[in-house]
Structure 1
Amino acid sequence: MKRLALIGLPNTGKSTVFNRLTGLSQRVGNWPGLTVELARAKVLLGGAMVEIVDLPGVNDLTGYSDDEAVVRDVLATTAFDGVILVLNAAQLDRQLPLAMQMLATGLPCVLVLNMADEAKRLAVDLDVGLLAARLKVPVVLVSARRMQGWPALMAELNRIGAGSGEARSARLDALPATGVALAEARSVLNGCWTLPAVLPPQISEKIDRWLMHPWLGLPLFVAIMALLFNTTYAIGTPLQDVLGSVLDWTRDHWLSAAVAPLPPILQSLVVDGVWQGVSTVLTFAPILFIFFVLMALVEDSGYLARAAYLTDALMAHLGLDGRGFVMQLMGFGCNVPAIMGTRVMRDRAQRLLSMMIIPFSLCSARLQVVVFFASALFPARLAPWVLTGMYVLSLLVAIGTAWLFKHRYVGNEAYLLEVPPYRLPSIRHLGVRALGEVRAFLELASTFILIGVLMVWLLTHIPAGHDRTLANALGDLLAPVLDPIGIRHELAVALLFGFVAKEILLGSLAVIYAVPETGLSSVLAHHLSWISGLSFLIFTLVYVPCVSAVSAIRRESRSLAFTSLTVGWSVLLAWVLCFLFYQSAIRLFAAG
């Protein structure tokens, strides 16, 4: 099967091109011979199946960052039939040097000049035919966001798919140095690419007067994120209720009848164990979808880069830079890719400090737990603010941890940030991204959830003497630790399996209390006060994220001692925060 490499600089729309080419068929996995995960997808081109491999964004093939080393290793050790090189058509004076290096590798190349709409708006003068003649490679001008120029790109890719060329690895011994590549690029661009001396006024500048204001910028950022959370609730909760009703109807009218011939113990296993655990998690798919749509809108619009700029001064006091804040925001989706994303930092100390604080981000798995508890224990007008508070707490805990450990992990790498213009992502692009995130979440969670709820069911049904189960025994064993922070004994099992994957928490609770998703809210409200419920949420937020995140930290840090420090610190911090909150709250409100 033929294989194409997709390469480009950061912020050139490379991911958008990849998503347009592959839809929802991409998969992420370890690349053979390397401890790195790359997105890959198989598509039909020219009547043949072709695998497209999305490599990390790089600025220079001769650079020293981890991402640049990964790209060189993959190109040198893997046979490719061609390269799709994505550049920003409005920034060729700075980006074409990468093309000069890429051509020196000897691999067939299709040069994709993306963001044609922005180049036109900036009045860029570009002669695509002359540029292609000088480079001696196909050059296609496209706007991946608007699908402009797509037929021409597909024609070039179909030609590669139908061709009979021999795949080969890249030659890296003759790569031109950055200065040489820049000189070559200027010579090639002379007469075929011109940027106006005076750029037309941009709407981005007008918006940034407010969103990047030195005093108003951060309050507006907090307001925008609060609006995002409230919108997630307002749209997602009704959809969640509808899906919950459908799943309950399926259980009552189909599943119960289907398992009726089975022995009672097996009926309980299927209905009270597997079905209740899995269906409880499934009901959060609508809320997660809305959340990821809105987060993709904030990210792809260019606003997150501005958030990094606004927070760079603050992060500098914590031994980090704006990239640390961006990685923290990425962790709101999933901690694992955010931890892997620290590879963009060349300084090891900054990488380690970033990896230590990223697990405090409220990831999508913990999000569903917060959403459920907030809905169960608080009125509708307060639930969104509980969610907002958890996000604020996650940032405060990360900031405090970074401040505490910044002298242990001192970094010295300079940080250069390019702020892109504002872009409005297409509705289709937002939907595809959100569907991909939800699907990846459910696929990752499905195995953990199934195994987890089965084990929880066993713990709650295997007797341990004196009308007690193993779950009761485990709760009693952990009572000296959990009682001071107000967490009930039966929740110990959920916390234990939450270390495997936070997706199991709600499924575990449904099994522990032997109720369906629609009844779990009322049961929690009956058994938990809002104080003990918040204490449970704080512990869930701060303590060890999941096995996958811990494994990612171990793999990326290459240090068992650092991984152990990260895990131990998070558990200790979670207990201390819960102790302070719970003991203070019960005294304050009991006195009131």
Structure 2
Amino acid sequence: MPETISMALAGNPNAGKTTMFNAITGARQHVGNYPGITVEKKEGYADINGTRFHIVDLPGTYSLTAYTQEEIVARNVLVDDKPDIVVNVLNASAIERNLYLAVQVMEMGIPVALALNMMDEARKHGMTIDVGRLSELLDMPVVETVARTGEGVPELLTQTAAYARKRDGRWTPLTISYGPDLDPVLTRMTDLIEAESFLTSRYPSRWLALKYLESDEEILAVGRSADEAVAASLEEMTAEVSEHCQKTLSTYPEAIIADYRYGFITSLLKQGVLTRSTDHQRIDFSDQLDRVLTHRFFGPLGMFLVLMAVYKLTFTLGEVPMGWVEAFFGWMSDTTSAALPDGLLKSLLVSGVIDGVGGVLSFVPLILLIFLFISFLEDSGYMARIAYMLDRLFRIFGLHGCSVMPFIVSGGIAGGCAVPGVMAARTLRSRREKLATLLTAPFMTCGAKLPVFILLIGVFFPGHQAKALFLITLAGWAAALLVARILRVTIIKGPSTPFVMELPPYRFPTLRGMLIHTWERTWQYIKKAGTVILAISILLWALMTFPGLSDDQQAAFEQKRQDMTAELATVHEDSSRAMILRANLRGLDAERDEARLRGSFAGRMGTALEGIGSLAGFDWRVNIALVGGVAAKEVIVSTLCTAYSLGDAAEESGSLAKRLAGSQDWNPLRASALMLFILLYAPCFVTLVAIKGEAGSWKWALFSLGFNTAFAYFIAVAVYQGGRLVGLG
């Protein structure tokens, strides 16, 4: 059995930590969630020189103070799982700021190795870092890396393994002086913690005292539940020193601690570790690009052109492979139909499984391409610029610049997912801005909505697919901003908070990194189609199949069919009467199938909603699909495929697109109203659960369910009825 070393990857957002994780683990990784919460957990494995690494990719965070759920998760993994070593991935070109997290990890005492990542960017900035000197001063491995190319990664793993063996699980906390105001009380608190064995089995004593001085809410709660008396004494000491600092220095302990940590970092780097070029006239490549790409006028214009290019390339490159997939599922449907006799099994496989799931999977080529382009924008650093440029606009509508990323992740660039988008809103520290973001992020063009948009655009706006999808995306943004403004001046009033964001340097993404990110997202889509969507498709097929026609209805249709067939046998097969009779037979079959579907459980529900839905142009079939879409938006296409498959005569079979194109009931106006409704109405069930988790109660999730649906209905009715008034419908 090879030796196994447990490693935790830590680092600031945009430091290249995830790229490092992919460079180390490759395809040997899996993604889940931490128990009981919705924070993503990524684990992977790597083997080098006979040593196996079990690697946990911690959430990106700037500190280990309990401000956000990511910070709490990262910290709890370190203190509870006690990895053999932590590799802190730093953006070398911002080494001072990135070392702040490393210092906090070192204060816990865990063995640490530093990966000075993006060294190529640091050199372009005229920076020289003496890694040998830094390693000597900190007594730990320090390795230069460029994760996107793999440079330095083998050396990092080799040194990390050797250092982990040397430390052998021993924790040696770093001790920093915090000045004459805090050091005495810090010593007294540490002595009390050790004397009472207060939480020392889980936390280092001095680190725990620091958390009390920083008024860490989670630590305070844990302390009170463990020993109220000791916790009260520690809180009293904290209150006394806080009052003293306010009176003498007009500040508070947490600010003093941060100042001394940065002072420690500054003194460290001044000891021959960091030198900078004296050529101040040189402007690095990222700065030159930002002069244009984040310009007040040219920046937004360029952003729109980039997004249009993404959609144009997606439809241009994806048209042929999407046709192949559609043809494959068409062949499966025809083959299964020919092989099986008429009956429930044939109906289940053809209409429920193949038409249902195949209708969703046929869009995989386009979904894959969109994910690939999104990965390029993220890995290149341009996505962060989009957030930066949109901050000015967001503040007008009562949102925060940090709301941009949840919107983008949710599908602000078509193809995202509202669940991680909602989870990304936890970085917002203002509860009001967080709630406004949670309630409006589901308006974006998520990957689950894309299949129905691509379907309807392809049928009713041929030749203009990219423009139409771009306009739908803009409609989602416009609706989100409008609703956010309404919410921020009504039920969630409050001041806005300032926005500060670190812009990573531009870099050319690696093909491997892009492919890993693309495949992860596409595989999640495929798995959902093969599991959740399959199950819901079968359920909806059953609801659209049973109870079926009554014996009297079935007998009436059979009698009419027998009469027509008998008459057809008496006339010449090429006569006009024969042609009329064959057409009447097809019409009778269609009438029978529609009557069977209307009489099913789902058909009755759709028919009951037709009085409301008709104002927006929705018929009973669409109503069935929209109700199913509350479970998962992908179900809308699969349900329409099943509904039209069950409701049409066999002779009129064909793809859903062909059926819609040939239907007299459908037109561009009706398709537009339906797309806007799907864009804006109730989030899927999984997103509702995520909203509940982030908002802390079902109240806001249920509000999103009701308000978003009502808002979407109002917009759809306005568009459909307005279009009819001006003669478009």
What is the TM-score with the length of structure 1 in the denominator? 0.93
Partner of 2:720: 582
| Shift, 1:522, TM fit | 0.7
| Shift, 1:46, TM fit | 5.6
Moved more, 26-35 or 235-244: 26-35
Partner of 2:705: 567
Gaps of 5+ in 2: 172-201, 212-256, 554-594, 647-651
CA contact (8 A) 2:360 2:634 kept: yes
Residues 1:189 and 2:269 aligned together = yes
Partner of 2:655: 519
Partner of 1:106: 109
Moved more, 443-452 or 479-488: 443-452
Matches within 5 A, 1:53-68: 53-62=56-65, 64-68=67-71
| Separation (CA, whole Å) in 1 of partners of 2:653 and 2:14 | 42
Question: SS at 2:87's partner residue?
Answer: strand
| Shift, 1:198, TM fit | 3.6
Pair 1:167–1:532, CA change in 2 (3 A): farther
Residues 1:533 and 2:615 aligned together = no
Pair 1:251–1:46, CA change in 2 (3 A): farther
Residues 1:136 and 2:219 aligned together = no
Moved more, 66-75 or 360-369: 66-75
Partner of 2:208: 173
Moved more, 11-20 or 34-43: 34-43
Question: SS at 2:6's partner residue?
Answer: strand
Question: SS at 2:655's partner residue?
Answer: helix
CA contact (8 A) 1:62 1:178 kept: no
| Shift, 1:22, TM fit | 2.4
CA contact (8 A) 1:86 1:112 kept: yes
Question: SS at 2:147's partner residue?
Answer: coil
| Separation (CA, whole Å) in 1 of partners of 2:614 and 2:101 | 60
Give the counterpart letter for 1:513 in structure 2. Answer: Y
Pair 1:82–1:174, CA change in 2 (3 A): farther
Partner of 2:286: 204
C-alpha RMSD of matched pairs (Å): 2.4
Pair 1:343–1:437, CA change in 2 (3 A): same
Partner of 2:429: 346
What's the CA shift string for 1:31-68, capped at 9, x where partnerless?
23655332223444564654322222222223633332
Equivalent of 2:632, from 480, 487, 501? 501
| Separation (CA, whole Å) in 1 of partners of 2:710 and 2:717 | 11
What's the CA shift string for 1:439-486, capped at 9, x where partnerless?
122223432211111112112211365542223211211011101000
Matches within 5 A, 1:351-370: 351-370=434-453
Partner of 1:313: 392
Residues 1:463 and 2:547 aligned together = yes
| Shift, 1:79, TM fit | 2.5
Partner of 2:94: 91
Give the counterpart letter for 2:528 in structure 1. Answer: L
| Shift, 1:251, TM fit | 4.5
| Separation (CA, whole Å) in 2 of partners of 1:46 and 1:577 | 62
Partner of 1:378: 461
CA contact (8 A) 1:8 1:87 kept: yes
Moved more, 486-495 or 416-425: 416-425
CA contact (8 A) 1:376 1:525 kept: yes
| Shift, 1:86, TM fit | 0.5
Give the counterpart letter for 2:389 in structure 1. Answer: L
Moved more, 577-586 or 307-316: 307-316
Pair 1:94–1:161, CA change in 2 (3 A): closer
| Shift, 1:363, TM fit | 0.3
| Separation (CA, whole Å) in 1 of partners of 2:662 and 2:482 | 35
| Shift, 1:526, TM fit | 2.2
Pair 1:164–1:553, CA change in 2 (3 A): same
CA contact (8 A) 2:400 2:497 kept: no
Moved more, 102-111 or 160-169: 160-169
Residues 1:151 and 2:186 aligned together = no
Give the counterpart letter for 1:309 in structure 2. Answer: Y
What is the TM-score with the length of structure 2 in the denominator? 0.76
Partner of 1:220: 302
Partner of 2:44: 41
| Shift, 1:167, TM fit | 8.5
Partner of 2:536: 452
| Shift, 1:132, TM fit | 0.9
Aligned residue pairs, count: 587
Pair 1:517–1:244, CA change in 2 (3 A): farther
Pair 1:43–1:247, CA change in 2 (3 A): farther
CA contact (8 A) 1:79 1:167 kept: no
Question: SS at 2:116's partner residue?
Answer: strand
Matches within 5 A, 1:475-486: 475-486=606-617
| Shift, 1:517, TM fit | 10
CA contact (8 A) 2:398 2:433 kept: yes
Matches within 5 A, 1:16-31: 16-31=19-34
| Shift, 1:211, TM fit | 1.9
Partner of 2:622: 491
| Separation (CA, whole Å) in 1 of partners of 2:643 and 2:45 | 43
Partner of 1:14: 17
Partner of 1:396: 478
Pair 1:249–1:529, CA change in 2 (3 A): same
Residues 1:547 and 2:685 aligned together = yes
| Separation (CA, whole Å) in 2 of partners of 1:402 and 1:124 | 43
Which structure: larger Rg?
A: 2
CA contact (8 A) 2:444 2:477 kept: yes
Residues 1:441 and 2:525 aligned together = yes
| Shift, 1:208, TM fit | 2.3
| Separation (CA, whole Å) in 2 of partners of 1:175 and 1:441 | 44
What's the CA shift string for 1:90-134, capped at 9, x where partnerless?
111222222222112111112111001111222211111111111
Question: SS at 2:645's partner residue?
Answer: coil
Pair 1:162–1:268, CA change in 2 (3 A): farther
| Separation (CA, whole Å) in 1 of partners of 2:465 and 2:422 | 29
What's the CA shift string for 1:221-265, capped at 9, x where partnerless?
122211111111111121111222233334445x557x63x7732
| Shift, 1:538, TM fit | 1.0
| Separation (CA, whole Å) in 1 of partners of 2:417 and 2:163 | 36
| Separation (CA, whole Å) in 2 of partners of 1:88 and 1:574 | 44
Give the counterpart letter for 1:290 in structure 2. Answer: L
Give the counterpart letter for 2:125 in structure 1. Answer: L
CA contact (8 A) 1:445 1:501 kept: no
| Separation (CA, whole Å) in 2 of partners of 1:569 and 1:167 | 55
What's the CA shift string for 1:363-395, capped at 9, x where partnerless?
01101211111112221x212211111101000
Pair 1:336–1:469, CA change in 2 (3 A): same
Moved more, 419-428 or 493-502: 419-428
Give the counterpart letter for 1:295 in structure 2. Answer: I
What's the CA shift string for 1:337-377, capped at 9, x where partnerless?
11111111111111111101100011011012111111122
Identity %: 30
Residues 1:119 and 2:119 aligned together = no
CA contact (8 A) 2:85 2:160 kept: no
Equivalent of 1:277, from 340, 347, 356? 356
Partner of 1:474: 605
Partner of 1:423: 507
Pair 1:157–1:137, CA change in 2 (3 A): closer
Give the counterpart letter for 1:456 in structure 2. Answer: L
Partner of 1:32: 35
| Shift, 1:399, TM fit | 0.7
Higher-RCO chain (CA-CA 8 Å, sequence separation at least 6): 1
| Separation (CA, whole Å) in 1 of partners of 2:428 and 2:278 | 34
| Separation (CA, whole Å) in 2 of partners of 1:37 and 1:214 | 35
Give the counterpart letter for 2:261 in structure 1. Answer: A
